[in-house]
Structure 1
Amino acid sequence: MSKSLLFIPDISGYTKFIQTTEVEHSQHVISELLEVLVNANTQELKLAEIEGDALFFYKENDIPSQENLLAQIESMFTAFYSHLKMLEKNRICPCNACATAPNLELKIIAHSGHLQHIEVQGTRKPFGEQVIEAHRLLKNSVESDNYVLISRSLALDIMLSPYYSSKIYRFRQGTDLYDDKEVEYIYSVIDPKELKLTSFSNPKKVHFDKPAPLIVKQYYPVSAEALLEYVTNYSLRHLWTEGVDRLDFNAHEVTRVGSEHTCVINGKHFNFTTVTKEPKEGSIIYGELLTNPPLVDELYQFYHFTPISEHDSELEIEIFWKVKSPIKKLIVALVGKKLFQKSVDKALSGLLQFTKNRSET
């Protein structure tokens, strides 16, 4: 029986991140990163299990070549840090989870051996001594949280020298004791600056030459951060917006610049994209572009969340629209602004009632 590859990408800093940040957003961030790692699988590795902050892959009776294995490792590190870079650039949420996500790091453990299997409720999973040893290697004496560790047995299988060096890798030798058994390995600290990360331009801020033709303000008995969460968490939108049949959005994503959602009202689909512009001093800003609005060509609404105290805030909504057709301009002048005003007033009233109900529970 041929040897198999055991491959474990593990997010460093996970425990502290989960324990010291907002639960829902931290869960979304970790979920996104794990999905990014799964999508970076270039060697047809089989996912045995998701282990909280780690993924346990294996390739049965097959070990990739040295070149392919190192390329697989580089692919996962590149995807991981590219995503963190994107989260940082497109962030709108000021919460601790979103702010500290770029501090997360990645380690990858790679091992080889003969696998056994166990079947649980019809699912066949790797089992046995080599699986245990691969997981034990996660607890090592490498003085970094951002590295790849390759067991000596795997290094010999792929003929990888303990002195191998390249732009990405600079391997060193290491040894740790597990249950009185000495296990040798080689490891390389990975410098994200040496990776060819996906290029992300800074989010484009929308600019307007004139003040918003419609501005509405409302006081709320809740913190600015909590109010921002109520508005940007699309799963809550139907609870304070009248007439919403459903909202289609990525439930596993933290809302950021570029996020999209579709609001279905009375059977009609309205498509929104998250945008941003310069915030008012002391405020947090969130903006939406309605790409298929009635009456106008483009409709922008910007929410400015301004803290008054720890438990009070003011929300100011600015509505901008763009119209090219002279006929549409006339219609907007006659009835459009009144319709927009009525819609915003109703939404703010619903949001106020929602926040009051939340504070009472």
Structure 2
Amino acid sequence: MTKSFLFIPDISGFTKFIQTTEVEHSQHVIAELLEVLIAANTQDLQLAEIEGDALFFYKEGEIPSQEKLLAQIETMFTAFYSHLKLLESNRICPCNACATAPNLQLKIVAHCGDLQFIAVQGNRKPFGQHVIEAHRLLKNSIASENYALISKELASAIELPIYYWSKLYRFKEGKDTYDDKEVPYIFSLIDQSKLTLNNFSLGKKIHFDKPPQLVLEKGFSIAAGTLIEYITNYSYRHHWAKGVDKFEYNENEVTRVGSEHLCVINGKHLNFVAVTKDVAAEQLVYGEMTSSPPPVDTLYQFYIVTPTSKASCNLRVETYWEAKSPIKKLVLALLVKRIFKKNTESAIQNLEQFATLKSAT
């Protein structure tokens, strides 16, 4: 029987990350990383199952060559750490999940052997001794949480030298015993500095050479981090930004600089992108920019939250707009500024009511 290929990328530190951080954001971070790893599958591997913090891939009756295997492993590590760098660089949220996400690591186990299959509710899944071995190899004696492990059986099949080395890899021998059976393997720790990370777009930081056209402030009896979560979590937006028929956004993404959302108002689509600007070290800031609403050419609104105690904060909402033509400037001065002020005052009042209700539950 032709051997099949088994491949398991596993996010290291998952259990501690989930248990000691905000649950919703930690789930979003892990979901994003799993999607990144799935997208980094360059060898047309079949995804058998998502196993919490791990992905179980296989390729029936075929084993990739030495070159393709090492390239696939490098691609997975590159995609994983590139995304963590994006999360770190464009982070808005101060919560533990978002702050500690860059500490997550990745380990990959690759194995081969004979496969059997079972059908569960119409889904065909691999099982058998080699599937068990591949999963048990995740629990090994390697003194690291960031490595690639290749079973000796697979290394032999693709003629990968035990002490193979390159810019990224420095393989060594290892072995562990499972159910009284010794399973040898080779492994290489992965140095992140040796990876060529993928390019990603840094969120836009805005600088102004003029004061905001509109400023409103209000105190809140909740922690600064809680308030910024209520502001940046788009699933809460309909509670305090009234008059919007529909909000569209990526429900599986923690809002960060560069995140986009769309508001539908009276059939009109207003596109927003999250931006930032410099504030004092103790302050939290979330901003959004749009070029959609006439008569402005560009509208910026920043929510700046300043802690005043552990359980209270001050919200300052700054609105800037740009209009190039004299007619647009006149309309803004005579009419639109009053509308912006009225709408922003209403939103802040609604936000306070929503925050009070959330705190009471």
Q: Assess same fold via TM > 0.5.
A: yes
Corresponding pairs, count: 361
CA apart distance, 1:242? 1.0
CA apart distance, 1:125? 0.1
In structure 2, what is the Cα distance between the partners aligned to 1:91 and 1:77? 21
The answer (yes or no) to whether the contact 1:274–1:287 under 8 Å persists in 2 is yes
String of CA shifts for 1:106-150, please: whole Å, max 9, x gaps: 000000000001111000000111110000000000111100000
**Equivalent position of 2:209 in the other structure:** 209
In structure 1, what is the Cα distance between the partners aligned to 2:360 and 2:107? 44
After TM superposition, the structure 1 = structure 2 runs for residues 1-361 of structure 1, keeping only pairs within 5 Å, are 1-200=1-200, 202-361=202-361
TM superposition score normalised by structure 1: 0.98
CA apart distance, 1:299? 0.2
String of CA shifts for 1:212-245, please: whole Å, max 9, x gaps: 1100001112111111111110011011111222
Is there any run of 5+ residues in structure 1 with no aligned partner, and where?
Answer: none
In structure 2, what is the Cα distance between the partners aligned to 1:338 and 1:218? 18
In structure 2, what is the Cα distance between the partners aligned to 1:281 and 1:334? 37
In structure 2, what is the Cα distance between the partners aligned to 1:61 and 1:221? 62
SS at match of 2:288: strand
Stretches of 4+ aligned residues off by more than 4 angstroms: none
SS at match of 2:139: coil
Q: Which amino acid aligns with 2:83?
A: H
CA apart distance, 1:174? 0.4
In structure 1, what is the Cα distance between the partners aligned to 2:302 and 2:215? 10
CA apart distance, 1:163? 1.0
In structure 2, what is the Cα distance between the partners aligned to 1:202 and 1:133? 42
In structure 2, what is the Cα distance between the partners aligned to 1:293 and 1:277? 22
In structure 1, what is the Cα distance between the partners aligned to 2:207 and 2:239? 31
SS at match of 2:245: strand
Q: Which amino acid aligns with 1:187?
A: F
SS at match of 2:153: helix
In structure 2, what is the Cα distance between the partners aligned to 1:303 and 1:264? 21
After TM superposition, the structure 1 stretch with the greater mean CA deviation from structure 2, 289-298 or 132-141, is 289-298
The answer (yes or no) to whether the contact 2:86–2:202 under 8 Å persists in 1 is no
TM superposition score normalised by structure 2: 0.98
String of CA shifts for 1:319-338, please: whole Å, max 9, x gaps: 00000011101100110110
SS at match of 2:48: strand
Query: Percent identity among equivalent residues?
Result: 64
Q: Which amino acid aligns with 1:219?
A: G
The answer (yes or no) to whether the contact 2:204–2:258 under 8 Å persists in 1 is no
RMSD: 1.0
SS at match of 1:231: helix
Is there any run of 5+ residues in structure 2 with no aligned partner, and where?
Answer: none
SS at match of 1:94: coil
In structure 2, what is the Cα distance between the partners aligned to 1:104 and 1:355? 32
